[in-house]
Amino acid sequence: MAARSGAVLTCFASKLMFLALSCVALAGYAISTPTNDIRPLVIWHGLGDTYASRGIIQFESEVKKLHPGIFVHSVYINRDVEEDKRATFYGNVNAQIDLVAEQLASIPELGRGFDAIGFSQGGQFLRGYVERYNDPPVYNLITFGSQHMGISDIPPCRSFDFLCEVARRAAKAGAYTEWAQEHLVQAQYFRDPNQLGLYMTLNSFLADINNELMLPAARNVTYANNLASLENLILVLFAQDKTVIPKESAWFGSEAPLEELDASSTQPDDQHPLGKPQLTAARTIVPMKLQPLYVEDYIGLRSLDERGTITLQTCPGEHMHLTGCWEDLVRKWVGQSF
């Protein structure tokens, strides 16, 4: 009888313990739910940086202070940091975006979507992800000093940066060659305003995601639909930017083609099958709202703007000098609830 009573008490105690643990688990779930309800953040670093550099790690830490409990993922092309850095100079951008799309789709925390921040060239690469994949979807996209309308010159390198210097020389020697368009990252968003025909025909990345194609029928409607699905697009320009040429590319601005002095001087020849550029006239900037891709809404940019969901922001310093600039933007556009 005593043994049976002991067994009953043990069973009763076990049930109480189960109930207690269940209550703790439920309480824990209730506490963690608000944290899990925060939209995660994806970061794509820029040229010459890595997914795990000191600056990126520090930025992630600061974001987590602003938004406790947020999940942050830093995009990588290669887990090896030296190879990841190399991939910012050398590689096929289209293949890199394909790889990143698989990477993001494999992370459970990102399954419901995320906000995204692109630093420098990482900004147009994230835009490429939105236009081509967007699964899981991006809600708010912030780009800092990105080259959305490309660059008309290859930026100079830091002193003793051999990796950068070799890539720069190769790109300047022939940005639109097949080899450059396959292997040199910067060449794949090089947009010469005086050779737009070559750019639209031979550029392997930027011309495609901008839908700047020779044949209007070749434009991808999905790109416009996907970009227009963003809740907000925040474009940040650095006022003293001397790295991105022109700096207005961060706001979808570009250099206008040089003015033709006379018709005969621009006729095609063997060296310039699409016409010779003029190098004597002054340059002007074509702003976003005068770009054909905006006017005709090639990529959904005009749709976003007419909804009031494009924000143009200026940071006062040089390229990627974020001090005193990023915090308000990240506080406002990152870390919202689903």
Give one DSSP letter per residue of 47-78, joined into a string: TT--TT-HHHHHHHHHHHHHSTT--EEE--S-
Tokens describing residue 56: 């990126």
pLDDT of residue 50: 98
Tokens describing residue 323: 């001090």
Q: Measure the CA angle with vertex 185, ends 137 and 283; round to 5°.
A: 100
Helix (H, G, I), strand (E, B) or coil at 323: coil
List residues bridging with 275 in a β-sheet. none
pLDDT tens, 159-180? 767 778 777 777 766 889 999 9
**pLDDT tens track of the chain, all 338 residues?**
444 444 444 444 444 444 444 443 434 333 333 347 999 999 999 999 999 999 999 999 999 999 999 999 999 999 999 999 999 999 999 999 999 999 999 999 999 999 999 999 999 999 999 999 999 999 999 999 999 999 998 767 777 677 787 777 777 668 899 999 999 999 999 999 999 999 999 999 999 999 999 999 999 999 999 999 999 999 999 999 999 999 999 999 999 987 533 444 445 555 444 444 444 345 799 999 999 999 999 999 999 999 999 999 999 999 999 988 999 999 999 999 99
Q: Which among 241, 249, 254, 297 is annotated as catalytic?
A: 241
Distance CA 336, CA 134 (A): 19
pLDDT of residue 270: 52
CA 138 remoteness from chain centre = 11
User: Does 32 qualify as catalytic in the annotation?
Assistant: no
CB burial of residue 207 (10 Å; 0-12, 13-18, 19+):
buried
Closest CA to 229 of 129, 155, 86: 129
Tokens describing residue 33: 């739910």
pLDDT of residue 242: 93
Phi and psi at 48, nearest 5°, equal 80, 5
User: Does 328 qualify as catalytic in the annotation?
Assistant: no
In this structure, are residues 130 and 300 in contact, taking their beta carbons and an 8 Å threshold?
no
CA 17 remoteness from chain centre = 51
In this structure, are residues 162 and 256 in contact, taking their beta carbons and an 8 Å threshold?
no
CATH architecture of 36-333: 3-Layer(aba) Sandwich (3.40)
Distance CA 298, CA 285 (A): 20
pLDDT tens, 26-76? 343 333 333 479 999 999 999 999 999 999 999 999 999 999 999 999 999
pTM of the model: 0.81
Residue owning tokens 């207690």: 20
Got the DSSP string for 266-301? G---SS-TT-PPP-SSPP-EE-GGGSHHHHTTSSSH
Got the DSSP string for 194-228? T-HHHHHHH-SSHHHHTT--SSGGG--HHHHHHHH
Residue 41 CB: number of other CB atoms within 10 A?
25
With residue 15 as reference, give the H or E element that holds it.
Answer: helix 2-36
Q: Which among 74, 120, 146, 152 is annotated as catalytic?
A: 120
Tokens describing residue 3: 């043994």
With residue 233 as reference, give the H or E element that holds it.
Answer: strand 232-238
In this structure, are residues 82 and 52 in contact, taking their beta carbons and an 8 Å threshold?
no
Residue 69 CB: number of other CB atoms within 10 A?
12
Tokens describing residue 324: 């005193």
Distance CA 17, CA 69 (A): 30
Distance CA 120, CA 122 (A): 5
In this structure, are residues 219 and 127 in contact, taking their beta carbons and an 8 Å threshold?
no
pLDDT of residue 280: 37
User: Does 5 qualify as catalytic in the annotation?
Assistant: no
